Structure formats: C-alpha cells, structure tokens
Amino acid sequence: MEDCCRGSLLSHLPFLLLLFQLPTGGSAEEFVVIGSSDPIVAVLGENITLPCRVFPAMSVENMELRWFRSKFSEAVFIYQNQQEQREEQLAQYTGRTSLVKDLLTQGEAAVCIHNVQAFDNGLYTCFFRKGNFYEEANLELKVAGVGSAPQVHITGPEEDGVRVVCMASGWFPKPQVQWRAVSGGKFLTFSETQAQDAEGLFTMEATLVVRDSSSGNVTCSVLNPILGQEKGVAIFIPEPFFPRSSPWKPAFMVILTVLMLLLLGAAFYIKREHTAKHREIQEWEKLRRDKVEDQLTKEEALKARGKRRTGAMVGQCGSWCGGQADSSALGLEQVAEEDQEDGGGRGGSTGLEMNSKQILTGGNRFTWLIGGRRSSRPVSCFEFFLGVFYCCSMAADISFSLL
C-alpha cells in the first residue's frame, strides 16, 4: 500500500511542480499555459495545429484566446466571446486559420493553419486570459519543403577538366548540395549560388569542375536538413569530353619560367646601370660646380689685384704729368747732367740708339728714358703730351685685360 502511494505521487510530480509555480494566495481562476516544448514541423502545402493547454485543467470556452507572432498586435487568430475576431488578424492568415474546439471544456485549445507557406516559419505565442488574469506560452514552427529533383548538365570544358552544373528549385529551408563520385567519395571544392523567389523558396545552383577523366559518373544530391529527405541525379561524363593534355604544355611552362627569370634579371641590370649612371652624373656635376667656384674665386682675386695695380698706375701717371712723380716708380730718371752728343751724329748711327729727352716743366728738369742713353735736349709740347697719352693707354690696357 505504501509503495502504491509512492508511485502515485511520482506520477503526479510534474503537475505538482506546476502548482508550485502558481502565485501564492491566488484564486481558483489562476492557471498556467503550457505549449509544446519541441519545435513543431510542418510541410509546405499541408495543415498544422499549434496546441496550448492550461493547468490545472479548466474550461477555456469563456476565455480570450490569442495566437500572435513577435508582436501582440500581429494576431494569427483571436477567439473572444466564444467567437472568432478578425479585426486585428494579419492579412496573410485571413481564411487560413481555424480553432479546434473539441477539447475546450478540458482546457486544451489549438489553432489550425491551412496550406502552410514558407513565411509561416518562426515563433508563435499563445495567450489565454480570464478576467484580469492572463498567461502565455511560446511555440516554434519549423516549415520544410522538398523541391524539384536536381537537373545536371555539362556546360563545357573548364581549364583542365569538364564543368558540370546542378540546379534545383522549390526547397525550404536552404538545402544542402553534395557532389559524389562513383566510389562514394565527396567533391569538396565546388561553387554554389542561391536565390529566393517571392514565396521564400530556394533555388540552388552548384558548379563542379571534374578533372579526373576516370571519374565516369558523378552524382548531384540535394538534402532537406529538417525532413532528412534527399533527391539526387547522376550524369556520365565521357572521356573524350576532357581536354587532351598537349606535350608542348610542360615545355611552354619551362620557357615561360625562363623568360620571366630573364626579364627579372634584365630589369635588375637596367636598374643597377641607371643607378650607377645617375651617381656618375651627380659626381660630375659636383666637380663642375667646384671648378666653376674655383674659377670665380681666381677671377675675383685677379680683378682685385688689377684694380690695385690700375690705381697705382693712374696715380703715378698723374704725378708724372704734374711734375711731382718719383722718377724711380715711373721709370723716369731725373738727371742733373747733359750727355755729350755722339760724334757720329744722330743720322750716322745704325739701328735703334738709346736716347733720352729732357722735359722742362715748371722749372724742373727730368730725363725720360726712351732708350739707354740720356739727352738734355728740351722736349717739345707734342712730345710731352705724347708721353702722357702713352701712360694713360698703358693704364687702360691693364684695366681692360683684367675685366
């Protein structure tokens, strides 16, 4: 007897736990709403029910029952005052939902969705209210659909193989595409594209490049991950479809590699020569600039020295013309004596005789050394001015030569 009581208590343990969840001090009208703990799977185009129940069990005929999506206002179905209310119902569920009333008196209610579509996939909430008290529970609906069988065809050669394309449409959710060889091994490298139509169904396209001519048959399979249903199609690829390998291809690759190495070597050599040439030009420009600077320095020094010499010459000529010059600086020698004329006379001497002429200016006697000999004969005014012009011409020539 004691064991029977213990077994009875264990069997009612889940219900006892739910009772503990009820608010303390509540009335008899308080309850808990229980939904399905596992996702509900629905197939495209079929009908599905979303059930909910209250605990403790009581009649829900006079309650407000509501099923909605993410928002309270997005109503899928509303039951109030013992009849269906369509004012807040979403347009896509109008005419597609109904209430299962068979177990309302036992505390169970379910809404039936007819002709399930891809957009029905997702979360739902069932809401029960009695008076001022209400509770709710969440449900998950997983929609799945198997589309058309894949279509496989050869589109032509690709690089060193054959390109094969597999297409399938009308699947939900996104299916898994696989390529297999005759041996059962999977091809892991292939490209895949997907698209969804206005109803939310997927169209898949998978492209495979088969490079092994001994592969023979290849199979494209499409799998629905929720239902576990798969559709596949095999295609045979004849060996002549594969491009033949040319014997010149390896030789061409070797030649291409050698040419690339030669181009790289030539580029390196040209760059090195250009760098050396550029460095040589820079050094030549530096030497030229140094030479020009040295030449300018020498010219400036010569100009400065010429200016000093010209100033000294002009001063000496001015002193000589005024009769105040020093006879040693100007090449003039003042003599106090008169030379004896040569017995042979002037006309009898051959060659150029050394003569000197005496210039009388301001009462001073000067001897101008024209030759090696001196003469005390007074010079004329013409000879005097000729000497002045000679001195000035020498000074001008020296100045122009230095410029």
Please write the tens of the pLDDT for every residue from 129-145: 999 999 999 999 999 99
8-state DSSP, 289: H
**Helix extents (H) in 116-247:** none
**Which structure tokens are listed for 295?**
């030449």
Residue 259 burial class via C-beta count within 10 angstroms: exposed 0-12, middle 13-18, buried 19 and up? exposed
Domain ranges of the chain: 17-144, 151-241, 306-342+351-402
The pairing of strands 202-210 and 161-171 is antiparallel
CA pseudo-torsion sign 53, 54, 57, 62: negative
8-state DSSP, 208: E
Q: What percent of the chain has pLDDT over 70?
A: 69
pLDDT for 377:
53
314-348 per-position pLDDT tens digit: 565 555 545 443 443 334 344 334 444 444 444 44
Q: Work out the end-to-end distance of the chain between its first and last CA atoms, rounded to an integer number of angstroms.
A: 144
Average pLDDT over residues 232-251: 77
Q: Which CATH class is domain 17-144?
A: mainly beta
155-170 per-position pLDDT tens digit: 888 777 899 999 999 9
Q: Rounded to the nearest 5 degrees, what angle is found at the Cα of 282, between the Cα atoms of 277 and 285?
A: 125
Q: Rounded to the nearest 5 degrees, what angle is found at the Cα of 195, between the Cα atoms of 194 and 196?
A: 135
Query: Backbone phi, then psi, for 234, in 5-degree steps?
Result: -105, 155
Question: Please, what is the average pLDDT of the chain?
Answer: 78
Is 151-241 the same fold as 17-144? yes
Q: What percent of the chain has pLDDT over 90?
A: 44
pLDDT for 149:
96
Query: Backbone phi, then psi, for 391, in 5-degree steps?
Result: -65, -45
128 alpha carbon, distance to own chain's centre: 58
Total length of the chain? 403
> Which residues, other chains included, contact 382 with Cβ-Cβ below 8 Å and sequence gap of 6+?
none
Q: Which helix (H) or strand (E) holds 321?
A: helix 248-321
DSSP string, 221-270: EEE-TTT--EEEEEEE--GGGSPPPPTHHHHHHHHHHHHHHHHHHHHHHH
Distance CA 104, CA 101 (A): 5
Instruction: Tell whether the model's pLDDT for residue 236 goes beyond 50.
Output: yes
Distance CA 379, CA 402 (A): 34
Going by C-alpha positions, the residue among 346, 348, 334, 344 that lies closest to residue 376 is: 334
pLDDT for 399:
59
8-state DSSP, 217: E
Distance CA 207, CA 167 (A): 9
Beta carbons of 64 and 79 less than 8 angstroms apart: yes
Distance CA 338, CA 230 (A): 149
Banded model confidence at residue 23, pLDDT cuts 50, 70, 90: very low
Q: Which CATH superfamily is domain 151-241 in?
A: Immunoglobulins (2.60.40.10)
Residue with tokens 């092994």: 212
Average pLDDT over residues 123-129: 97
Q: Picking from 31-40, 64-73, 100-109, 387-396, which range would have the lowest pLDDT averaged per residue?
A: 387-396
